[in-house]
Structure 1
Amino acid sequence: MLGELTANQIEAVLHREVVGRIGCHADDITYIVPTTYAYDGEFVYGHTIEGMKIDIMRKNPKVCFEVDTIENMSNWRSIIAWGTFEELKTKEERGSGMQQLIDRVLPLLTGETTISHSMTDGHGKYVEAMKGVVYRIKLTKKTGRYEKR
Structure 2
Amino acid sequence: MLGNLTDKQVDYVLYSQVIGRIGCYADGEIFVVPVTYAFDGQYIYAHSKEGKKIEMMRANSQVCFEVEDMDNLANWRCAIIWGTYEELKDQQSQKEALQVLNDRIMPLLTSETARAHRQTMIPQVVEKEKKPIIYRIKVEKKTGRFEKGGD
TM, length-normalised to structure 2? 0.86
Partner of 1:119: 120
Classify 1:51/1:109 alpha carbon distance in 2 versus 1 (closer, same or farther; 3 Å).
farther
Tell me the distance in 2 between the aligned counterparts of 1:84 and 1:102. Answer: 22
Partner of 1:5: 5
Q: List gaps (5 residues or longer) in structure 1.
A: 121-127
Classify 1:77/1:135 alpha carbon distance in 2 versus 1 (closer, same or farther; 3 Å).
same
Partner of 2:20: 20
Q: How many residues align?
A: 138
- 1:1-149 equivalence runs, <5 A: 1-108=1-108, 116-119=117-120, 130-131=124-125, 132-149=132-149
Asked whether the 8 Å contact 1:87–1:134 carries over to 2, the reply is yes
Q: List gaps (5 residues or longer) in structure 2.
A: 126-131
Which AA in structure 1 matches 2:140? T
Asked whether the 8 Å contact 1:94–1:129 carries over to 2, the reply is no
Poorly superposed stretches of 4+, deviation over 3 Å: 107-110, 128-131
Tell me the distance in 1 between the aligned counterparts of 2:109 and 2:94. Answer: 18
Tell me the distance in 1 between the aligned counterparts of 2:79 and 2:124. Answer: 29
Tell me the distance in 2 between the aligned counterparts of 1:4 and 1:79. Answer: 10
Structure 1, residues 19-43: CA drift from partner, whole Å, max 9, x if none?
1000000011100000010000000
Q: Specify the SS of the correspondent of 2:41.
A: coil
Deviation at 1:129, TM superposition (A): 6.8
Structure 1, residues 97-138: CA drift from partner, whole Å, max 9, x if none?
11110000123459xxx9x43438xxxxxxx77430000000
Classify 1:129/1:19 alpha carbon distance in 2 versus 1 (closer, same or farther; 3 Å).
closer
Which AA in structure 1 matches 2:138? K
What value does the CA root-mean-square deviation take over the aligned residues? 1.8
Tell me the distance in 2 between the aligned counterparts of 1:109 and 1:22. Answer: 22
Tell me the distance in 2 between the aligned counterparts of 1:118 and 1:136. Answer: 21
Q: Specify the SS of the correspondent of 2:50.
A: coil
Classify 1:31/1:129 alpha carbon distance in 2 versus 1 (closer, same or farther; 3 Å).
closer
- Give the % identical residues: 49
